[in-house]
Structure 1
């Protein structure tokens, strides 16, 4: 029987469970594929359908996994150090790099670390999650509170992308759900066979099939209503159309859809070691580096106005998948480690209470 990582300490890394590493890689690969095909959705209904199918649940699943591997106890010195070295310092480095790239390519001279560039919003969201989780854990119904905050934040047009606050609160329920899943011991029950697997997996396949059909049948409506923006969780309701009081119910429905599909996805991930499983340890490398690789393609204009958008869609899906594998390899990880996992012992004062030679799991539990 495979036990989850709930009983591990800050000093002891959790045992590797193949399912989680495989799930991490699949989620981050879908992030890359989604960004690779984003320029095609204006010219191809099929591209928009694939895009909506992915975006309904891939970041919710990523946040859920991150929550599962997060601890709600009082912050120790080691956790505070890791907040700096694993999240804040990489954010500062990557944001500086993006500022340089945008200056060279676009001539933009603005350095604004309060507004994260492209994919960097998730790092700040993780920092916010880690900061508030110990307080949420004190509440009797933390998941209900997180859902209320996500729905309610859409009514406030003064909460925006600054420090990723709107998006962090928007997807907070998925992070809290992941943490609660470990508290409820659901994974141990799943591994031990207390939950019947095949009926659940058949239901999960049916859910994904139903979502795919709904996306395709209503593709014209989804394009007209800009459904994709609802999956970003970063806009006030009055920026998503003529805001109505019931827009909060739409956000609630989107949250429920993301949660159900994210859990369905996890039930379909095997616990066997696959060839892609080791790449799950490199999710933050793939996540943070792929945007630099895709940036020239997106800015060149070659992905827009093509005569064969569906053929290009298949090509870009393959490019996204291949790029995910490439960026997860050991040579890439070794070369970019100073940027993604900086060793910053020089930054901290000497301490006798915490060891700095412990294993470093990544912000999403990888490592």
Structure 2
């Protein structure tokens, strides 16, 4: 349905905007306000979409192969490229796949979600357990960003929520996928207006407490400077806010075909490649000091939207498909383990589904 492709493109564009304006937040309250406004819900919404299109059940050979081709191989390819880039630019030559570079953490998180979900689907109240894990992991300082474990557990509730929404059939039952009434959209706008007002009004408070780091879900409460017993309750409050804002976001997404619907089929290309476009801009220091004005902020917002559109183009997909969507048939056995070999058949042309559920013909 068009609504999901629309949502994917809108969500990943928010990711690009957030990364594009990040350097401006040090010197600009306007940039920080926009940054906090986006970061409160954009990755939770991304995780909800991914969870909505995830399947449970025992692992199959095909499913295990997709984990390798859709997640592990692209991760190692992109991590290798990032190591080379950092060596050429910064002289930093260590190759450490256990510490994902910049945006690559979400690939590992999706892999962890795929491992955890079949087990969560077997127990009662899976959403409760996901919340408990997210709440509790913040108290464990030894669970860190290695293999994105802390961050994956931190945003796990959103992924599970997306899966449960489909299982419950709530979206179809309320017909929110196909249509929304004017008063629902007005309520969604009011929610965003209220959040923006809160962010702007207390911007000095949010800056002093480094609220933006709480939205990363990748550090312990002690590491965030809060070792009080109630720190976990603050994370739960942020999760509630993220769910409300994500709901408002999905309500405002167009339900029909739009000029950007097709771009939603290139989500992983935009997500994995935009960091290479922004890297030189961020590292040159051009977005600091005198260049932190509202004009530069708007300029980076529009530039980020343009980057998303360009990276979603057919040419970019054709050019980078070997590293974003590798097809290493040579890597796998000609037959499934424990199964008698069968005569080779010409593979049928099938649709391609990326880790976020985006489907397109190969």
Relative distance call for 1:194 and 1:359 in structure 2 (3 A) is closer
Q: Which residue of 2 aligns with 1:358?
A: 350
Number of aligned positions between the proteins: 351
CA distance, structure 2, for counterparts of residue 331 and residue 193 of structure 1: 31
Superposed displacement of residue 272, structure 1: 0.7
Matches within 5 A, 1:5-16: none
TM-score between both structures, scaled by the size of structure 1: 0.93
Are 2:37 and 1:53 aligned? yes
C-alpha distance after superposition, 1:235-273 (max 9, x if no partner) = 000011141000000000011111111111111112110
CA distance, structure 1, for counterparts of residue 323 and residue 188 of structure 2: 38
CA distance, structure 2, for counterparts of residue 71 and residue 21 of structure 1: 19
Are 2:159 and 1:167 aligned? no
Is contact 2:27-2:288 (8 Å) kept? yes
Q: 2:264 aligns with which of 280, 303, 306?
A: 280
Is contact 1:190-1:197 (8 Å) kept? no
TM-score between both structures, scaled by the size of structure 2: 0.94
Q: Which moved more, 1:257-266 or 1:129-138?
A: 257-266
Are 2:289 and 1:297 aligned? no
Superposed displacement of residue 189, structure 1: 1.7
C-alpha distance after superposition, 1:163-216 (max 9, x if no partner) = 000000000000000000000102212337999733322221111110000000
CA distance, structure 1, for counterparts of residue 177 and residue 133 of structure 2: 35
Q: Which residue of 2 aligns with 1:141?
A: 125
Q: Which residue of 2 aligns with 1:254?
A: 238
Is contact 1:189-1:195 (8 Å) kept? no
Aligned alpha-carbon RMSD (Å):
1.7
Q: Which moved more, 1:264-273 or 1:213-222?
A: 264-273
Is contact 2:50-2:356 (8 Å) kept? yes
C-alpha distance after superposition, 1:2-35 (max 9, x if no partner) = xxxxxxxxxxxxxxx1000000000000000100
Is contact 2:24-2:292 (8 Å) kept? no
The SS at the match of 2:26 is coil
Is contact 2:178-2:255 (8 Å) kept? no
C-alpha distance after superposition, 1:132-159 (max 9, x if no partner) = 1000001110000000100100000000
Matches within 5 A, 1:1-367: 17-191=1-175, 197-307=181-291, 309-351=293-335, 357-367=349-359
CA distance, structure 2, for counterparts of residue 260 and residue 19 of structure 1: 19
Q: Which residue of 1 aligns with 2:342?
A: none
* Structure 1 residue runs without a partner (length 5+): 1-16
The SS at the match of 1:360 is strand
Relative distance call for 1:195 and 1:158 in structure 2 (3 A) is same
Q: Which moved more, 1:343-352 or 1:285-294?
A: 343-352
Is contact 2:177-2:255 (8 Å) kept? no
